[in-house]
Each structure stands twice: as structure tokens, then as C-alpha cells.
Structure 1
Amino acid sequence: MATSLRFQIQKGFSRLVTKYAILSGSILLLLVAAFVLYTTRSNLVSQSDIVRTQLKSQITATLAQADTLIRSPVLWTGLMDSFGRETYLKPLLKQLNRNEDTKFVLLDYQGRVFVETPGANAEAVEVMRQMLPAVNLETTAVQLLRAEHDNDLLLILLPITSPLSDAPLGYLMTQFSVTSSIRELNVDDRLHISFNLQPEFASPMSWWFLSENYTDQIVVGDYKLRYDTRYAMSLLPNMVMLFGLLVMTSLLGYLFVRRTELWLSAFAAQLTYQLDQLVRYAQDIFAGKQVEIESEADRADEIGTVVNTLEALLLEQGRSQERLRKLAYEDPLTGLPNFVRFYELSLLHLAESAQASRPLTLLFVDVNQLKHINDIYGHEAGNKVIQASALLLERSLPQPCLVSRRSGDEFIAWAEIDDHQLYRLSESLAAFDVDYQNVSIPVTLTMGAARYPQDAQVFDDLIFCAEYALKQAKNRARNTYAIFDERLGLRLIRNKQIEERIATALRQCEIKPFYQPKVDMVTGQVAGFEALARWYDPKLGWIQPDEFLPIVEHLRMFSDLTNCMLTGIFADVDKIVARFPGAKIAFNASPQDFQREHLIDSILDYAKSQPHGLANFELELTEQDIAGLDEDIIEKLNILIQAGIHVAIDDFGTKYSSLSRLTTLPLHRLKIDLSFVSNITEAKGEEIVRLIVSLAKTLNLEITAEGVETLRQRDLLVACGCRNAQGWLYQKALPLSELMNLPTVLLPAEKSNDV
């Protein structure tokens, strides 16, 4: 979607400001978060140092006091004198237990409370009693007890001994309240302290806590006490504060961006004012409006220069559009509508004709021998012929009509004419002369016609029918016309059916070789055969070569046809040679066949499997094919000749070839085309045949005449020096099954050419 320059400037600056605001806010939040994290950790470290110092000093003092007590003669004397319990020990313990955080409990050697101690924890006494077996003269028992109200009690059990006994007289249990000692310090409420006698804490802290772990050791006399503490401080209040700061920053950033967008809108409008003027001028110019430049802009500045340029461009654009329209819809040589324009206009007219029930005739017209005219007189003369033909068509067709140049030498047109008018039109268009540089060039036209609606109701089908009629007219004779009718329609349908089925027929080798004998006309001896393609389809019946061969050529499937024929010939050759010793089998091929390596390879592979190679085969190439052979194909041809195959020129004299070409190619036979044989009864025809025979003998080539049908033709050919021939006078092409019953000597028999 297109956007204005003003909007682009506004959006560009707005994005820049927004990115700056987001970046600034993000950096500020990161700095605040880093500061909060730093201060929290610093607070955690400082307060943990205070607590550690407090705990270490109090536990050290408690342990030192206990160590001094158990070494006191008063204590062990009181334990041995049951009467001294009230006199010595009670006052002593009462004085020691004045501190609420620390309690000393005196146990006898069996772990019973020797002197009642107010404030002592009964659960702690029971825990210590269970640990008596682990206590001896050299060890102490230390236990951490989690009492009520999350009160952590550090319990230390020390044995009491005397110089007079090796066994403990009793035990002194020291109960130190870790929790109470910490509370006295009034530390930060966010500080969480864990006390543990194990090397590691059982559970990790949550992710929103900062924590520090410490290990401390106290040594008093012979006693060592190791403990771990963990100090953690919650970040949740800081996170709440940061979230509030984020919300406030976002709100302020949003207000800042909105305020900035308003300012940017005004700034972009001021910046693009003159450009907006220029756009309006350009739009008005291309819309064909009168441009009125405001007085403040009516000067020789950049805008005025651009406006003048736009006016010049507009003028040139009009000229260019007209030229493009002509290129898109007109033929540059004749000025007629081209086929695209003709097709569009014809569809509109056909719709009108259908509503009015008016008949319409579509014409395809071909200029005959235009290439020949170009070759003889030059392309400029050919252009004059095209222009004259276009002018003649426009003048000859009654209105309403439309004429278009379809391609190089073809025109297409429609007019509302009947068959009688079409006949008169064909007479007037059949032949005319074009004067070019004082030379009169004869021109003939061939025409095909199709009628709407009787031949086709769709315009594309009507074009197809008219074009098919033109092809039939050109096949029949030049400078004539043909109207598409039911007969042509049936032929068209049959051709379509043949085209649909021919690929399968070639792939499955349904096209078979039939063999026409070549005969020595003097002795009647069968000298060889020519393999001719014959096709019987279960659905279409017998399909004549003149029906399927043009389709094979159109589909460029001659190589497939050659391969199909060779497959049948290779299967039949042994039987034919056995029945007619020394006979050669001729088959047709084209230079395009030699472009396919596998075809050559298949022929050579067959030659290797035969004792005589390809000695029983003869390859027939037309005179036109011989003229177009390149060095690569000649090399491949020589490979086949070395394998034993003979090469013959088929239909000699119908095209053109160089005599030097005939002398340099490895040829063995020359075949006289049936068109010369059919005219041999005339003086000039006989003379032409004598010249061809003389040429063949000069080149040391064998000679065979094609299409011999009468005894008169046979006698004249023999008199001219040609002994070998093939044709209906001796036999038509036969399938292998009938060929095997044919005698080796054939007698001439004039008869009709029924299949």
C-alpha cells in the first residue's frame, strides 16, 4: 500500500524516538536493577558479618565457660558428695543459668538430671541422654535441635571427670539458643539465617533470594566445634519496586512518544509542504487538468523545473501510447489489425451476429510461393506483395468485414457472404500481378473458408475449420479455394483419431512392413523388395500411408516409424532371403534417424548377429535428404556401408541435388520417380528418362524405375536401358504371409489399382 512522504517522515522519526525511549528506559531499569542488586548484596554481607561475629563470640564464650566448669573441683566434688548437691551445685548452676540464651544442665553418669535447671528444654535433655554411648573422655557430642517456635538450640554434651577416676562422674549439657542470640541483634527483617552442623544445606534457596554460605570453626582447649551458616535476603520487595518503576517508566514513555508524534506530524507537514504541491501538480497533469501554480511557487526553482519536465513528459507519453497502441494492435507492414486485435473485434461481432441470426464466413488466405518471390526478387518485393494482397482483400470483401495479417504469408478475414459470393471472391483473388521496379510479379492466393454457425459455433473452432480447409486447398492445388464441409469434417475427425492412436501403434509396432517386389523386366526374375509401411487399426480399419505419414511428419515421429519398420523387417528377412535367394530388402529412412544413436546401434547389433552382415539390405534416401547430409551423418552412413548395406537415391529428379554431391557420396542405386515413369509415353518424358539412365550409368549406379503400371511403360524403360522396376504391373505390396507364396519369376499383368 502506497504511503505519503509526509507519513514516511513522521513514521521514521516516530520509530526513532520510540526506539530511543525504549532503549533509554531499558538502560535506566537495568541500572536501577543493578544498583538494587548491589546494595542488597552489600547489606547481606555486612549484616551476615555482624551475625557471624555475634554467634562465634557467644558460642566460644559458652564453650569456654563449659570447659572451665567441667574442670572445676567444685563440680566433680559435688557429684561425688550427694550432700554437696544442695550446698555446692545449685548455687553454682543458678548463677551460670542467669543468661536466657544459655543453659547448663548437670547429668549424672547414667544421664539423669542431677540438679534441676529451670528453663532447660526437656526434649534437649532426652536427646543428649540418647547420645551418652557416643561420649567418652576424649570426645564431645554436638546436636542441633529445632525446638518450638523455630527455636534452634545448639546442644553440647561434655564428660565430667576427676583425677581419682577414669570413668565420667557425670555430664554437663550446654544448651545455647542460636535463634535468641540472633534476635538480640535486631537485624534486617528480610535477612533469613540458617544454622547447620552439616557441611551443606539440605535445600537450595529460591531464585528470588540472594544468599551467602559460611563455615566457622571454634577451638576451646581440646574441643573443636565446626558449623555452617547461610544468610539469605529476599529480592521480592525490590522486584515489586522495579515492577512499579517499569510501569511508571512505560506510562511516562508512552506520554512522551504521543507528545512527540504530535510534534513530528507538524514538523513533517512543514517539511513536505512544497513536495505535496509538486505531487498535486503531477496528478493534475496526468489527469489532464489545467495546472495552476500558486504565485509563491511560480518561479524558476526546483518545483517549476519539475513541472515543466512533467508537461514535456505528458506530451511524449501521449505519443508513446499511440505508438504502443499501434504496435500492440496493428501490423506494421500493412496497417491492418494484428491477430490479437482481430480476435477481440471478431468475438464482439460474432456475438452481434448470433443475436441477429446473421451468417458469417471466416477466410484463411495464403500468399503462394512468397519465399520463392523473396528469393528471386528480394524481401522488399515480398513486402510489396504482402501490402498489395492486404489492399486487394480489403477492397474485394463486402462490408461489414475485417481483415488481419495472421503471419508472414497468411491473412485471416471475415465477411457476411454466402457461397455464391465466396466463389466470385475466389475468382477475383485467384491471381493478380504486382509491379515492382518495372517488373510484373505474378501472385496467386489460396483460400480456405468456414461458415458460422453451420461449421462451428465457437470462434476458435471456426478458425480451426477455416485453417484446415486452407490446408486441403493447398494440398489439392494452388490458387484455389476450399470450403469446410461435412466431408472435410469427417476427414478432420479421422485425422484426429489417427493422431491420437499413432503413438501407441508405433510403440506396439502395429504398423507392419509390406513388401513390393523389384523385378528384372527382361527376365521377370524377382531381384528384391521395398518395405512399405501399412497400418491396420481394429477401430479405424486400413489407414493409408498418405493419411498417417503426414501426421508422422507433423509429430516428428519418423525415427519411431523407422524403428518400428526395422523391427518387422529384421523378423522377416531370413524367411524372405530363404524364399528369394540374393534378394535385397530396401527400407526408407531420413537423416533425422541418424541423430538417434540407438537406432544405428540396433542396426549394427543386428549386422553382427548375421553371417553376411547387412548385405541383404538397401537404405533409400530421398534426393532432398542427400543434399542436406552433413559430415557427421555421412560418417555414420559409411559405418553402415562398411557393414554391407547399399544406399539408393529415392524419387530422383523431383527435388534438386548437386552432381558433384552425387559423385562424392557412397551410392549404389538411383530410382526414377514415378512422375517421370508416368510421362515416359510422351517425347519429352522419354528423353528425360534417357538422360537419367545415362547419368546413372556414368556414375556406375544401378537403376530402378518406380510406379510401372503398363506394358508400354515397361517397353520404353527397357529401351532406355532400365531393366529393374517395381509397380502394379508386376505386384502390389504384400504382407509376409502372401509374399511366401509368390513365385520367383513374375509376369506383367496390366490391372486396376485396387488395394
Structure 2
Amino acid sequence: MLASVPTWVTVLQLLAAGVVGGFCVLQWVWWRGEVRPASAAWSFAWSLDMSLVLAAGGLYTLTVPGSFQDALAYVHAQLIAAFILIAIPGTRAIAGGPPARAWACAAGGLFAVRAIVWWVPAEHFPAGIDPQVVSEALLLVPTVVVVTYVVLAVGRTHLTRFGSLLVLAGAESLAIFTAGVLTPDRGLGGIFTALWAIPLALALEAVALSRIRDAQDSAALQHLMRDAVARLSNAAWFVKDADTLLVSARDEARTILADPSLEGSLRPIARDRFVTELFSAEKLDHTAQARAFMIDLSQIVSAAAERYQLAERLHATAFADSLTRLPNRRSVERHLVDVLDQANVERTRVSLIYCDLDGFKRVNDALGHASGDALLVRVADYLRTALDDRDAYIGRFGGDEFVVVLSRAPSDVDLVALARSLREGFLDRTVGSRPARLTVGVATWLPGDIVDPDALIRHADTAMLEAKRTHSGFRVFDRVLRRRVEAERQQRSALETAVAGGHFTAYFQPIVDAQTLEIVQVEALARWDHHGHLILPADWLDLAEETGLIVPIGLSVLSQARQALERFQMPVAVNIAARQLAEPDALAQIETAWGDAFWEHLTLEITESALVHTTSAVPVLSELRARGAQIAVDDFGTGYSSLARIARLPVDQLKIDRSFVRDMSTERGQGVVRAIVALAQTHGLDVVAEGVETPDQLTALIAMGVTRVQGNFLGRAAPGLPVRGPRPVTGTLPVVSQTRVLHAVPTQGASREGSLAAAQRTV
């Protein structure tokens, strides 16, 4: 096929080979990219083969006849066959088409036969057969096979402009190639054979250049899409609004895809999930890459919307009451801090209204917790309605307590009117004749006061408790309450200092035998030595129990009672508070204060109400009783306990309250004492009457069968044991397992005639 051609043809061949070879480098870079499509690989192989065909044709004319030129002609022929054969898989990769294996095998087989026949000498051919005709036939027949496949593949495809260009160029090259093979003029045929590939090469490289440019544009677009996705992902953590984020996603898609008709939608579905969609309002057909980009943006918006929804729910859980939908305690406290800081700058008043729901427990007990919850919701709705025209921040502080923060507090007169209206405006008769109502307390922060939100809450709570105590229904925290709170604070501080400094001492009051007036026991009573002045328990006992200081005070008195046992050789009784028995390590504390012996000489006195209503007291008292200590019910008859339950409690002794002893002159008082004595005798309990102040009371108690008495008439509480004359020496305390004799002398308040000199009592 190759022949001598003019120089300009050779130059044109080599120039075309260089151009196509340069494009091969670009196509190789394209093929080595991230996607690596099959069309790029076959286009690269096709262009490389075409470059070699042109180069081999150009070099052929530059070489001298000989073996090298013959080898170059053979290589050129095989490169043409490879070029034609590559058209089958290349067409399938670029434009699609039917399965190419059979077509490629048929064409490749004919080209292989041609390659073999090439080296067969002419003399070996049968007579009448021209080797040149055979070679041309073996070239044209597979070419027709390839062209047929290409026509079938291209006929099924909607050609683009580049596809049409490639088909026209291929047809032109095929026509030139066929003319070069079939023309009898060897010079003209050589020129056709040398230049036939140039039209197809130029078209192929134009297509390849377009594909490379498209790949670069696609890569740039991919980077822009990634940047847009990253920007939207970052914005999702700061925007905090799903609709705003959707607008940002839509704008990003419009800019990147150059489609101003893009719109977005965000729809909630079940279980707090969301569906986001970006779509073209003009129904433009976007590429798969563009659709994937819009899906990525949509997923970011959906995930962010679900996160915002969850954050709102968590915020509502953390700062709002789930039942009433009001701000909870944490939210109220935070709001109060902000309001006070602002008021301190603006020099305005801030009021806090503290509301407690009376009767809430009755509704819960009678109708159940669902009714109680409904009642709380009604209170919340009432407060919203009643304070709708005010700048009020309403919250549920916990349980049945509600608070209202007024950032622009009115005058004191208006606050009183508001508290009264809140009290009188709510009346719920869900249960019985006693309605559920609000008890209201109001406290106000004034410019110049210390900014202390906790103090303001405490003051409002104190006003509410004062209103509850006085049954007034509402109360404003005024100067009187402030002075009382300050006095209580000072007393609490002094009490804490006294406990820390050990200023509580035990005074001992005798308990005597009603018949002989012999001192059989002493009761240890706590006294507060405040700078040389004794303060009685009536002035500090409630505060000690409220603050929990009653625990160390009681343990100190118990320890001093143990010392008194050794000093007086006399059994001792010690009052023990319910708060003390409620401690987790109450038993260990009592053992540490008393010691590990002589339990049989200790009587622990606990009030009737504390014994009945404190469930943790019974196990501790039972354990102490098992060790030998006796348990006495102090102030018996005032706790309204069940007689049947008293019989089941770990009790050894009943102490008749002084109020009943004081009423001994009446039939009612005597009847109560007789009933208590009868109850004690029935259950085998000892009886002690306290508060004996007159001889008549003592005589009446003896007549009713009371065996032991106690009171100022028989001996006042003193640091030491009240005795008349020197006390007999009794020696040291024996061990617990032995029987010991404790001696006592009559008190100074008893008459000499009615006393016995010295009586023995075996304990």
C-alpha cells in the first residue's frame, strides 16, 4: 500500500503524527483522572495507533529500499489493521451498540490471515491468483465488517454534533482509504493511502479535545459542588433554622448549576423526620452529577432540621416543664439573674410572686395523680390568663409551686392588690367542700439592694409560708418579715457557733418513786449556755430540728448522760429526736456517744408523733432495745396515735404529758390519766407523769396508780444531782453481767416525814 509520495505529503504525515501524538498525551492525562471512563481509554488507544500509522507512513518515504523499509511497510499494515479493529470496541464504548466480541473476532481473524499471507512469496500462490489482490481483499473485507458494526451502533444512537462530525470524518477517511486501495494509479493511490487517516484523526482529536474540556469542566464543577456542600454543612451548625438553611441550599444549587428555576421544599414526616427536595420549577433535565449534588444538599438540610427539632425538644426538657409547658425552675432562675442584672443598671424594681397550691395533696390522694396533674395545668392556664396584660415571666418552680417574675414591678399597693386577686381568682372545688386555692407570697428587689436572686426567692417563699401560717392567703415580704428573717438568720448563726463550740450542756431533773419520793432516775435535758445565760429548748429546739443541728446536740447530751451515769450511779433518760433516728448511721452515732456497755441503765425518750410517723425510727429503737436500753414515749396522749399500733411498737414506758397533769383538777384530765394508766397496765408498761407542780397533783397521781413522777415540785433540772446531805459512797460501777445496787436519797423538795432514809432498788 505504501509508495513513494511527494515531500509535502511526507511532511504533512509527520506533522499530523506529531499533532495526534500530542493529543495522545492529553488523552492519557484525561484517562488517568479520577473517573477513568472506558471511552477515554479506547480514544487514547485509537489516537496512539493513528499517530503511529502516520509516523510509519512518513518514515517509509524517508528510508531507502531494503529490509528495513519492508519491515516498516509490514508494521504500517498491521497498525492500519489495528486502527480499523479498534473502531469496534471504541464505538461500543463511546456510542454503545450490539455485543462486539463476534464482530471483533471476525475482523481480527481476517487481519491475522492478512498478516500471515504478507510474508508468503508470490511464487507459492496458485496460478492465476494475484497476491496483491488477496492482500487488498483481506484488508477490505474486515474493513467492511467494522464499518457495518459502526453503522449498526451509530444508527441506534442519537448523534450529537461531535458524533456527526466523527461519522462524516470517518466516512471521508474510509472513502480516501478505499480510493487509495482500489485506484490503479500507484502515485495517486500512495497519496491517498498516506493521507486517508488525517480527516478522521482531526475529527477524533476534536472529539477528544472536547471530551477533555468536558472532563475538566466536570472536575471543576465537582470541586465547586464539594465546596458548596462543605459550606452548607458548616452553616448548618450556626443557622439554627431549617427554612433559612433550605434557602441557602437552594441558592448554592442555583449558582453552581446555573439554573435560576431551582426551588426547595421541606416537609415533616413521622417520628420527627424531615424530607427535603430541590427541584427545577421548569422541569429541566439535569445530569446525574447535578442530581447527586442536589440530593447531598437536601440530605444536609433534612439532617439539620431533625437536629434542630431534637435540640428544641431537649431545650424544652431542660428549661420547660413537660406538664404545664411553663419554664421550669432552672429557666426561672436564669431569667431572674438576667432581669436583676438589667434592673441594677436601669434602677428599676423587680418583684417575685411565689404561689403555693393548697389542697393539691388532697386531690392526688382522693382522685389520683392524673387529676392532680390536671389541676396543675389549670393553675398554669389561670396564671397565664390573669397576668396576660403584664410583663410577667411565669414558671413552675416544682411540685405545686409556681413563681411569677415581674421585671417592671408596680408599687407596693398594686402588688398587694395583685396578690389578693391571684389568691381570690382561683378556686377549685374538685375534692370535697375544701377548695384548692393559691397561697401567695411577694418579695421585691429595690435599687441599691444586693443582687442576690436566691435571697429574693427565699424572701418570697418566706412571705408565702407566713401567709400559710396565718391563713391570710397572701403576704408581702415587708420590714417586719425582714427583721424576723434576719433575727432567725442570726439565731441560726449563733446556734451553729454554739454547736461548734460545745456550748450545750446537760442539766439533770430527777424522776422519783411516787410512794417513797426516792430518786430512781434522772433525765438529761439540753441547755444552751449563751454567754453565761441559759436558753431553754423552747427557744431553739424548732430551729435546731429544721437545720439538722439537733443531731450533734442530741449526741453531745447523750455523751454527757453517760458521764452522769458514772458520776451519779443513777440510771439516766435522754431525749432523742426523730431527725437523729433518721440518720443513715444513727445506730453507729448513738453507740459512739454512749459507749458499748451499761445499755440497761439508759432510757431513750422519743415523742409519740415521731415514733408513729418516722418509719426509720422503729428498726433503730428495736436494735437499741435488744441491747438493753428502754424506750419511753414522751408527751404521750398528744400524738393521736392508734392504741393498737402503740402495742406493736418497741416501747417500755409511757410518759404522761404535762398538759394532762395540769388538768388533774378536772374530770376530763383525770379521765385521760386513768385511761393512760389502764393502757400501760394492760400492756405491761411503766408510767411516768411529768410536769408535777403541786402536792395535790402528786396525791391524785398516786391514787390513780402512777408509780413514777417528775416535775419542778420534786426537783428542778440542775447541773448536778439534787440531793439532801452527803451521798453514800457506792464504789465503782460493776460490769454489765453482774447485778449492781444504785443508791439514791430523797430530793430537797420532799418532806422529811414522807421520805425514806435510803431505799434500795435492784436494776
Calculate the TM-score normalised by the size of structure 1.
Answer: 0.51
Q: Quick one: distance in 1 between partners of 2:661 and 2:700? A: 9
Structure 2 distance, partners of 1:508, 1:564, is 12
Q: Is 2:413 the partner of 1:462?
A: no
Q: Paired residue for 1:342? A: 332
Cα 1:306–1:568 change in 2 (3 A) is: same
- Aligned with 1:513: secondary structure? strand
Question: Is 1:588 the counterpart of 2:576 in the alignment?
Answer: yes
Letter in 1 for 2:428: V
Q: Which residue of 1 aligns with 2:245?
A: 287
Q: Percent identity?
A: 28
Which residue matches 1:734? 718
1:569, CA displacement in angstroms? 2.0
Q: CA deviation at 1:344?
A: 4.2
| CA distance in 2 between partners of 1:602 and 1:369 (Å) | 43
Match of 1:744 among 742, 747, 758: 747
Alpha-carbon separation, structure 2, partners of 1:662 and 1:629: 16
**Matched residue of 2:435: which SS?**
strand
1:423, 1:712 → 2: CA distance?
54
Q: Is the 8 A contact 2:518 2:746 kept in 1?
A: no
Structure 2 counterpart SS, 1:597:
helix
Deviation at 1:520, TM superposition (A): 6.2
The alpha-carbon distance between structure 1 residues 567 and 631, as it changes in their structure 2 partners (threshold 3 A), is closer
Query: Is 2:557 aligned against 1:572?
Result: no
Q: Does 1:633 align with 2:620?
A: yes
**Which has the larger Rg?**
1
Q: Is the 8 A contact 1:433 1:441 kept in 2?
A: no
State the partner residue of 1:309: 299
Residue 699 (1) aligns with residue 702 (2): no
Task: Note the alpha carbon deviations across 1:402-445, whole angstroms, 9 max, x for none.
Answer: 33221212222245355555555555566864244x76663254
Q: 1:93-132, aligned counterparts within 5 Å?
A: none
Corresponding residue to 1:621 among 606, 611, 622:
606
**Following TM superposition, by how much is the alpha carbon of 1:565 offset from its aligned partner in structure 2, in angstroms?**
0.8
Query: How far does residue 670 in structure 1 lie from its aligned partner after superposition?
Result: 1.5
Residues 454-494 of structure 1 deviation map (CA, whole Å, 9 limit, x = unaligned): 894424232233334445555x4556455444554455445
Deviations 1:506-529 (A, max 9, x none): 455321112344466787665544
Q: Which amino acid aligns with 1:637?
A: L
Name the CA distance, whole Å, in 1 between partners of 2:473 and 2:747: 48
Question: Which residue of 543, 553, 561 maps to 2:553?
Answer: 561
Higher share of residues assigned helix: 2
The residue number in structure 2 matching 1:537 is: 530
Contact 2:443–2:477, Cα closer than 8 Å, also in 1: yes
Q: Which residue is 2:174 aligned to?
A: none
Show the counterpart of 1:510: 503
Find 2:428's aligned residue among 417, 429, 434.
434
1:417-456 equivalences under 5 Å are: 417-421=410-414, 433-436=427-430, 442-453=435-446, 456=449
Matched, 1:330 2:320: yes
In 2, the alpha carbon distance for the partners of 1:584 and 1:720 equals: 25
Q: Which residue of 2 aligns with 1:94?
A: none
Size of the alignment, in residue pairs? 469
User: Is the 8 Å Cα contact of residues 506 and 564 (structure 1) preserved in structure 2?
Assistant: no
Alpha-carbon distance in 2 for matches of 1:731, 1:466: 47
CA distance in structure 2 between the aligned counterparts of 1:307 and 1:279, rounded to whole angstroms: 10
1:363 is aligned with what amino acid? I
Question: Could you list the runs of 5+ residues in structure 1 that have no partner in the other structure?
Answer: 1-12, 14-264, 608-612, 749-755
C-alpha RMSD of the superposition = 4.7
Q: 1:673 to 1:301 in 2, by over 3 A?
A: farther
**Is 1:407 aligned to 2:410, yes or no?**
no
Q: Match of 2:390, as an amino acid?
A: Q
* 1:686 Cα deviation after fit: 6.7
Q: Give per-residue Cα distances to partners, 1:186-226, cap 9 Å, x unaligned.
A: xxxxxxxxxxxxxxxxxxxxxxxxxxxxxxxxxxxxxxxxx
Query: Which residue in the other structure is 1:365 paired with?
Result: 355
- Give the Cα separation in 1 of the matches to 2:381 and 2:703: 55
Contact in 1 for aligned 2:427/2:436 (Cα 8 Å): yes
SS of the residue aligned with 2:436?
Answer: strand
Query: Quick one: which amino acid aligns to residue 671 of structure 1?
Result: K
Specify every segment of 5 or more residues in structure 2 that has no aligned partner in the other structure, as ranges: 1-32, 34-215, 237-241, 260-285, 726-744, 752-763
**d(CA) in 1 for partners of 2:412 and 2:224?**
72
Question: 1:59 — aligned with what?
Answer: none
Aligned to 1:669: 653
AA matched with 2:226: L
Aligned twin of 2:591: 600
Instruction: Give the drift of 1:668.
Output: 1.5
Inter-partner Cα distance in structure 1 for 2:448 and 2:413: 17
Higher strand share goes to which structure?
Answer: 1
Distance 2:749 2:473 in 1: 43
The 1-side partners of 2:366 and 2:703 are apart by: 39
Contact 1:519 1:746 in 2 (8 A): no
- 8 A contact 1:445–1:478 mirrored in 2: no
Summarize deviations over 1:734-754 as a string: whole Å, max 9, x none. 333878899726479xxxxxx
Q: Quote the offset at 1:648 in angstroms.
A: 0.7
Can you list the C-alpha shifts for 1:31-55, whole angstroms capped at 9, x where unaligned? xxxxxxxxxxxxxxxxxxxxxxxxx
Question: Aligned to 2:651, what secondary structure does the other structure show?
Answer: coil
Deviations for 1:563-614, whole angstroms, at most 9, x for unmatched residues? Answer: 311232233345545xxxx664343254246635263155344x3xxxxx34
Q: Deviations over 1:5-47 (max 9, x none)?
A: xxxxxxxx9xxxxxxxxxxxxxxxxxxxxxxxxxxxxxxxxxx
Q: Give the aligned residue type for 1:572.
A: A
Are residues 667 and 345 of structure 1, via their aligned partners in 2, closer, same or farther at CA, if it must alter by over 3 Å?
closer
| CA contact 1:670–1:704 (8 Å) conserved in 2 | yes
Q: C-alpha distance in 1, partners of 2:634/2:560?
A: 21
Aligned to 1:667, what secondary structure does the other structure show?
coil
Output the CA distance in 2 between the equivalents of 1:574 and 1:688. 37
